[in-house]
Amino acid sequence: KAGVTQTPRYLIKTRGQQVTLSCSPISGHRSVSWYQQTPGQGLQFLFEYFSETQRNKGNFPGRFSGRQFSNSRSEMNVSTLELGDSALYLCASSLHGSGEQYFGPGTRLTVT
């Protein structure tokens, strides 16, 4: 079974721009979660989508948003990028929304 895939793997953007990241979960998995990882803050939960509905949201500003499609693929969007948004963005999928999650390789976003 193919694992979680994320595209693109690397991205460089300029302050003020917006960015969209994509995540394809493991086939059959209905829950997709997003995390941000930085050296200073570590791994932080952004939000979770289950059956196209946002079920949980972490403590991030409204510039961070996401959505999930009927095929369970998910996208996250960051608007008005700031330097502090430079991070590794990780996507994880799970079958029923349990604690056993499968992570993708991440998208490395650099904001200049």
Partner 1 sequence: DAKTTQPNSMESNEEEPVHLPCNHSTISGTDYIHWYRQLPSQGPEYVIHGLTSNVNNRMASLAIAEDRKSSTLILHRATLRDAAVYYCILRQANQAGTALIFGKGTTLSVSS
Residues in contact with partner 1 by the rule CB under 8 A: 4, 31, 33, 35, 42-45, 48, 50, 55-56, 58, 90, 92, 94, 97-106
Nearer to partner 1, 14 or 42 (CB): 42
Nearer to partner 1, 18 or 38 (CB): 38
The least CB distance from residue 86 to partner 1, in Å, is 16
Q: Which of 91, 89, 87 is nearest to 110 (CA)?
A: 87
Residue with tokens 């079920």: 55
Region label for 22, one of left (φ > 0), alpha (ψ between -120 and 50) or beta (otherwise): beta
Nearer to partner 1, 14 or 40 (CB): 40
The least CB distance from residue 98 to partner 1, in Å, is 7
Listed in sequence order, the residues at least 6 apart from 24 whose beta carbon sits closer than 8 Å to its beta carbon are 4, 5, 6, 73
